[in-house]
Amino acid sequence: MKAKPVRIIQGEGYVECSKEDATHLTILIPSHSHPLTLPVITKGKRDGTGCWTWNGSTEAPTLRPSVLTINNGDGFRCHSWITDGQAQYLGDCSHSMAGKIVDLLESA
């Protein structure tokens, strides 16, 4: 599974759940040392929600808009489109994978 649907349970944190009950999605982008958990919606408009739209697939997830992570402490910057289970790294990445397209890693 390349994308793990999760929801927040107060006092427990993120708990794996069905796609239909998901409020968040956990993915592992190859350039990252840790999984990312992002708020998602599968229907409706994302305007004003702070969420990414998700196509509902755990094997070939597509998220919109792009995913940008920055660590100001070490200057790390990773910017990618997540489409059909792959990360397309944009040219403004600070790492050697800029410009490449690679499969997402399997979620633990």
Lowest mean pLDDT among 4-13, 38-47, 82-91: 38-47
Q: Has this prediction a pTM greater than 0.75? A: yes
Mean pLDDT to the nearest integer, 4-27: 96
The pLDDT of residue 108: 62
Task: Of 90, 92, 107, 98, give the one whose Cα is nearest residue 29.
Answer: 107
The pLDDT of residue 72: 82
pLDDT tens-digit map of 29-72: 998 878 999 999 988 888 899 999 999 999 999 999 999 999 88
The pLDDT of residue 44: 86
Count other Cβ atoms within 10 Å, centred on residue 68.
12
